[in-house]
Structure 1
Amino acid sequence: MSIRKTKDGRYRIDVSLGFDPVTGKRKRKTMTLKTKKHAEEMYHAIKKAHSDGLLTSHKEVSFSTLVSIYLEQCKLHHKPNYYNIEKYTIEKHIIPHFENCIVKKVTHNEIQDFQKLLVDKGLENKTINNTMIILSKIFDIGIVEDVLIKNPCAKVKNLSVVKKQMKFWTPDQFKEFISLIEKDEFIFKVFYTTDYLTGMRLGEILALQWKDLDKFRREINVYKALTYINQEYIITSPKTKNSIRRISINSKLITLLDEWRRHQKEIFDELGIHQSEETYMFQYKDRPPTKDIFSRKIKQICQRGNVDPIRFHDLRHSHVALLIHQGEDYLVIKERLGHSSVSFTMNTYGHLFPNKQKETADRLDELL
């Protein structure tokens, strides 16, 4: 036991904590105490804490530093749009509350208070849960950096979230919506029709170039996504590896796309732009369009008639409802949407399929 008496009558302990795996140097913890008994107790306590993996570091790191490390990792491992959403949430909700906190002293009580604060602000439970997940990831960095023993968010439960009813347009509703689009808005007719008949995500359809349309095989090749961040257009891979797919399309849609391509060339000629196979399929100005344009336009068009507006992403749901109405099975839908598995498709859209229980019950009559 390494305990020695100092010249002033106190007792100094020197505890070996093994070797640093990087430098190879021995790690030690020293401490000076008033009595020999206290020194012995502390010596054994430190040894036990080290063997149990509970010994904290003396490192002091600010919350802002943890955030910086987290965002750097986020930028490295995720797509730009994901990074920007995380950054926005941190700056909007987390930093104002935790910026000046003492990282080591934050407990689950402070985390619960923060959660309640978000509730009092009127945020939706789903938004609050997402914010809490990000906060927990930031404190996880503290563990990795040997600043914290445990994550103070660990014992704070998520709020319950009521799943919203899925919205979609029937074929008749979509036809009525299309009828409200004016002649000089042809691009919107083609864009929404393409999405309704393919179920592509917004970033996927924006990234389409004319070279991605295979008229011979009647397919659209989906292998990229377009996003607009900080006034810059960025091409990324689709949401998941399963999102890389080829979608079969009908002849009338090909005819509509051909018509739009001729119209696009007329627009480009007036703008002095060369149209080619590399041209973005739905570009109608000197720059490619952004997501907001096609999202906002839906509501504007619906206000001209009696169609209830839906989100752009609900056109994807509408495509699924259309396929189910036509009697397509889960596998076909899974392939067209680029889902990771049939089970995911069933869990997401199973409620849209017709209820077969009545038919099952009627067949039981044959047994009697």
Structure 2
Amino acid sequence: MSVYRRGKSWYIDVRIGGVRIHRKAGNTKAEAKRVEEELKTKWRLKQLHVSEIKEDPVSFGFVAKQYLEHCAKVKAPKTFAVEKYCLNKHIIPFFEHKFVNDFTTEDLLEYQGVKKSEGLSNRTVNIHISIVRNIINFAVDKGFIAQSPVKKYPMLKESKKQHAFLTPKELKALIENIADPLTRKRVLFGALTGMRPAELAYLTWSDVDFYNGTVKIQGKENWKPKTNEERIIPLCDEAVKILRELYEKRKSKWVFSNTDRPVLSIKRALKTAAKKAGITRPVSPNMIRHTFATLSLMAGVNIMEVKEIMGHSQIKTTTRYLHTLQQHLKTAVQKVAEFMREGKKDKNNF
């Protein structure tokens, strides 16, 4: 896009001889086109001066639009949808007319205050600040600005998130009450591998290596892994057995589908099975993944190994399961104390 409109003015954004020229060019498209041709002519005649390639300030709204177009091509659909919502609902209306190179830490602190007063959580506001940082870095990468004007991005303190998980007894009861055999195997396979719900949905037979006992998480035509990185997951004997049973009766290229389309959601099946199993807590597909991670740590698996299997880009994501584990162990110790107190009362009654 070499010529575009912003407000009532027209701008040019072109590269001439390896030099990016981004500037206001007039009040009509014709005027902007004429200025663009004049600059190209001067370049050919070697008469283009430094003063003529000076960039005008770029609005946040303009860069945000370019950023979204970029994200739509490279990010997973779910991640893109979240960023698009945050930008359109909150961030762009607040910063739309501010120039990117004028951003300061104080602007971000003001944004934090306003959004907190609207009732947004610290976690949500921090996500917004991270998106703003991504857009400013994008502006630097694309040459809209020379360097980031913000030296420090303020972040609010977040409460440590504790992931809900199922006990082995609850997991067994849940699986036994899933009516559909394929969904039942999918849930059990997810509990044995810690794969994300979308990774299970988009798993194809070409991703399965029976010889080495592994599955490969990799992008498909209309789907990309959350971190955009491929990884290999080793399988236990029971997980391999599940795949062999499914392979013999396969009807699709998708491991957990009997049609030519992947099954994207099993929420309803889990809700029904949980009710039949007597589980009063909400059970989600992600809860199966959390169960794998928590039970792995309980079993003594090294946290770095859990990180690699789960596909976490940062160890701090994996350590959240430690907080869940610590709370579980604290509850267990409390039960021991209660049991000892009850035993002491019983002894006094004899």
TM-score, with length taken from structure 2: 0.65
- Corresponding residue for residue 193 of structure 1: 188
The answer on 1:234 being equivalent to 2:218 is no
The answer on 1:249 being equivalent to 2:236 is yes
Q: Does the C-alpha gap of structure 1 residues 165 and 212 become closer, same or farther in structure 2, counting only changes over 3 Å?
A: same
- Corresponding residue for residue 95 of structure 2: 98
Q: Residues of 1 paired with 2:113 and 2:261: CA distance?
A: 44
- Corresponding residue for residue 8 of structure 2: none
Q: Does the C-alpha gap of structure 1 residues 123 and 337 become closer, same or farther in structure 2, counting only changes over 3 Å?
A: same
Q: Residues of 2 paired with 1:72 and 1:189: CA distance?
A: 39
- For the Cα contact (< 8 Å) 1:203–1:225, is it kept in 2? no
Q: Does the C-alpha gap of structure 1 residues 186 and 101 become closer, same or farther in structure 2, counting only changes over 3 Å?
A: same
Which residue, 27, 43, 47 being the options, matches 2:50?
Answer: 27
- Corresponding residue for residue 220 of structure 1: 214
- For the Cα contact (< 8 Å) 1:206–1:225, is it kept in 2? no
Specify the code of the residue in structure 2 equivalent to 1:134.
Answer: I
Q: Residues of 2 paired with 1:285 and 1:98: CA distance?
A: 46
Which residue, 252, 263, 282 being the options, matches 1:309?
Answer: 282
Specify the code of the residue in structure 2 equivalent to 1:205.
Answer: L
Q: Which runs of 5+ in 2 are unaligned?
A: 1-16, 20-42, 334-350
Specify the code of the residue in structure 2 equivalent to 1:249.
Answer: C
- Corresponding residue for residue 198 of structure 2: 203
The answer on 1:161 being equivalent to 2:140 is no
Which residue, 275, 284, 299 being the options, matches 2:258?
Answer: 284
- For the Cα contact (< 8 Å) 1:223–1:238, is it kept in 2? no
Q: Residues of 2 paired with 1:98 and 1:335: CA distance?
A: 38
Which residue, 288, 296, 316 being the options, matches 1:323?
Answer: 296
1:163-184 CA-partner distances (Å, limit 9, x unpaired): 12222112111012113222xx
The answer on 1:333 being equivalent to 2:330 is no
Larger radius of gyration: 1
- For the Cα contact (< 8 Å) 2:162–2:321, is it kept in 1? no
Q: Which runs of 5+ in 1 are unaligned?
A: 1-19, 30-56, 227-232, 266-274, 359-368
The percentage of aligned residue pairs carrying the same residue is: 26
The answer on 1:131 being equivalent to 2:128 is yes
Specify the code of the residue in structure 2 equivalent to 1:236.
Answer: K
TM-score, with length taken from structure 1: 0.62
Q: Residues of 2 paired with 1:149 and 1:322: CA distance?
A: 46
Q: Residues of 2 paired with 1:216 and 1:108: CA distance?
A: 54
Q: Following TM superposition, by how much is the alpha carbon of 1:134 offset from its aligned partner in structure 2, in angstroms? A: 1.3
Aligned length: 283
Q: Does the C-alpha gap of structure 1 residues 123 and 303 become closer, same or farther in structure 2, counting only changes over 3 Å?
A: farther
1:270-324 CA-partner distances (Å, limit 9, x unpaired): xxxxx4xxx101113452212xx22454334323343123442232231133333
DSSP 3-state at the match of 1:245: strand
1:31-59 CA-partner distances (Å, limit 9, x unpaired): xxxxxxxxxxxxxxxxxxxxxxxxxx661
- For the Cα contact (< 8 Å) 1:330–1:345, is it kept in 2? no
DSSP 3-state at the match of 1:234: coil
Q: Following TM superposition, by how much is the alpha carbon of 1:196 offset from its aligned partner in structure 2, in angstroms? A: 0.3
Q: Residues of 1 paired with 2:110 and 2:172: CA distance?
A: 50
- For the Cα contact (< 8 Å) 2:122–2:158, is it kept in 1? yes
The answer on 1:298 being equivalent to 2:295 is no
Q: Does the C-alpha gap of structure 1 residues 122 and 304 become closer, same or farther in structure 2, counting only changes over 3 Å?
A: farther
Q: Following TM superposition, by how much is the alpha carbon of 1:143 offset from its aligned partner in structure 2, in angstroms? A: 5.8
Q: Following TM superposition, by how much is the alpha carbon of 1:337 offset from its aligned partner in structure 2, in angstroms? A: 3.0
1:182-232 CA-partner distances (Å, limit 9, x unpaired): 2xx222211110000111122222222234344454x23213146xxxxxx
- For the Cα contact (< 8 Å) 2:219–2:228, is it kept in 1? no
Q: Residues of 2 paired with 1:216 and 1:262: CA distance?
A: 16
Q: Aligned-residue CA RMSD in angstroms?
A: 3.8
- For the Cα contact (< 8 Å) 2:274–2:283, is it kept in 1? no
